[in-house]
Amino acid sequence: MEFEVWWLLAIPVIFGLGWAASRFDVKSLLSESSNLPRSYFRGLNFLLNEQPDKAIDAFIEVAKLDPETTELHFALGSLFRRRGETERAIRVHQNLLSRDDLPVSEQEHALFDLGQDFLKAGLLDRAEEAFQRLQTGSFAKQAQHSVLAIYQIEKEWHKALECADRLAADGDGSSYEKEISQFHCELAQEALQRKDAAAASAEIEAALRVNPANVRAMLLRGDMLLHNGDPAGALAILSEVPRQNPTYVGFAAGRLMRAYEALGRTAEGIVHLRDMLSLHPSDDLAEVVFEKVMAQDGPDAAYAVVRDEMKRAPSVQSAVKLLTAHHEHASGSQQADLVMVREWLLQRTKNLPRYVCEQCGFRARFFYWQCPGCGGWETYVPRRADMPASS
């Protein structure tokens, strides 16, 4: 490669341009920094020294001194809401909305955040009013999702259905079949409570049309058929549960046995449930099988069932049933010891959360179709997680 003389001239020119650019950047940075209020730097210093309360006070002072700092207002409002200081968050966002010079996009942002403040504070009517004002714009979709959450909190299932239908029709790529089907199940439950069998049946059918794999709707239909004296129909629908979702077999077990017993086929029902237990281990299913075998065939057969279950899928419930069955053959002090151990196990586990939400990890003692923590539907696996932590 040949050396060109003009490169010697280019090098100092390039160096000079770089030096001038760096000087310009430094001057620009110094100029911008000199325009920032001193409170801003005090706030940063408090943050660096892990003094968040003092930092917040300093940033509030900045927001008061410089009305153009809308982003700082939004950041403060969100911070207050996360800390549970909803009154301060509401005040921040209301102050923003009171400004006449605020652009439309930032007005929508402030209104949406205000709705979130009201929702966090439990002021559902005011939250809904704020969200309903956002029919258009970049926050419209998020606002409608929040409205849907409010209707579910208020158990306004008809309104929730309408809102979910609108969201589904907007075609945002999300599927609301699970939610809509569950809303119909909620309406069916309400109809059953007021003894309106026709309305309950219609809602169950609607739930299954939207989501044919909705196990809850299948269980409700089985309950209605049993109540109406149609055990054969109940047996047919409930027998589909293991095929649709085998994790729910424990919920269908008791209903299946009632159908078999009503048809005079108890022994066949026990065999059916034992077959399901071998394929799909479940504490709820094992409990039904244990009770029925104990009543039908005696403690020896029940002991054999629960011993096999303990080997295959050990759990506290299986251990308790094993002790119960073994108690029948014990005598004297052995019986007392078995009772003591069984009661200790029951006492140790009775207050433990049994079910875990797969979406947020919320633990609960009882099964919920809708998680109390995150509001997700069908996020609880009907499989108990009740082994006590080692101490």
Q: What is the pLDDT of residues 9-65, one digit of tens each?
A: 444 445 444 544 444 444 443 344 445 555 554 555 544 455 556 655 655 555 554
Return the DSSP state at 211.
-
Q: Which of 75-79, 269-273, 310-314 has the lowest mean pLDDT?
A: 310-314
pLDDT tens for each residue of 334-359: 666 666 666 766 666 666 667 888 88
Q: Which range, 227-231, 316-320, 387-391, has the best average confidence (pLDDT)?
A: 227-231
DSSP for 270-309 reads HHHHHHHHHHS--HHHHHHHHHHHHHHH-HHHHHHHHHHH
Q: What is the pLDDT of residue 330?
A: 59
Q: What is the pLDDT of residue 45?
A: 55
Asked whether residue 163 is marked as a ligand-binding residue, the answer is: no
CB neighbours of residue 390 within 10 Å: 4
Q: What is the pLDDT of residue 339?
A: 66
> How does residue 3 score in pLDDT terms, banded at 50, 70 and 90?
very low
Structure tokens that stand for 383 in this block? 């499989």
Q: What is the pLDDT of residue 24?
A: 41
Q: Which of 8-22, 204-218, 234-248 has the lowest mean pLDDT?
A: 8-22
Kindly tell me if the per-residue pLDDT of 319 is higher than 70.
no
- The burial of 295, by beta-carbon neighbours within 10 Å (0-12 exposed, 13-18 middle, 19 or more buried), is given as exposed
Q: What is the pLDDT of residue 5?
A: 43
Q: What is the pLDDT of residue 336?
A: 67
Q: What is the pLDDT of residue 29?
A: 35
Separation of alpha carbons 45 and 53, rounded Å: 12
Q: What is the pLDDT of residue 233?
A: 95
Q: What is the pLDDT of residue 204?
A: 95
pLDDT tens for each residue of 69-85: 677 777 778 878 888 88
The answer for residues whose C-beta is within 8 angstroms of residue 376's C-beta and 6 or more apart is 357, 359, 360, 370
| pLDDT mean over 251-275 | 93
User: Is residue 54 helix, strand or coil?
Assistant: helix
> How does residue 8 score in pLDDT terms, banded at 50, 70 and 90?
very low
User: Is residue 332 helix, strand or coil?
Assistant: coil
> How does residue 202 score in pLDDT terms, banded at 50, 70 and 90?
very high
Kindly tell me if the per-residue pLDDT of 389 is higher than 60.
no
Q: What is the pLDDT of residue 116?
A: 93
Q: What is the pLDDT of residue 142?
A: 92
**The model's pTM:** 0.74
Q: What is the pLDDT of residue 58?
A: 56
> How does residue 325 score in pLDDT terms, banded at 50, 70 and 90?
low
Any idea of the CA torsion for 241, 247, 251, 254, to the nearest 10 degrees? 80
Asked whether residue 185 is marked as a ligand-binding residue, the answer is: no
DSSP for 343-381 reads HHHHHHHTTS--EEBTTT--EESS--SB-TTT--BS-B-
Kindly tell me if the per-residue pLDDT of 269 is higher than 90.
yes
| pLDDT mean over 290-299 | 84
Contact 111, 134 (CB under 8 A): yes
Q: What is the pLDDT of residue 324?
A: 65
Q: What does the mean pLDDT of the chain come to?
A: 78
Q: What is the pLDDT of residue 30?
A: 37
| pLDDT mean over 138-142 | 91
| pLDDT mean over 373-389 | 71
Cα separation values, 114 from 71, 74, 81, 299, Å: 15, 10, 10, 63
> How does residue 198 score in pLDDT terms, banded at 50, 70 and 90?
very high
Separation of alpha carbons 196 and 115, rounded Å: 37
Separation of alpha carbons 158 and 188, rounded Å: 12
| pLDDT mean over 198-214 | 94
CB neighbours of residue 337 within 10 Å: 13
Structure tokens that stand for 304 in this block? 């054999």
Spacing of C-alpha 352 from chain mean position: 19
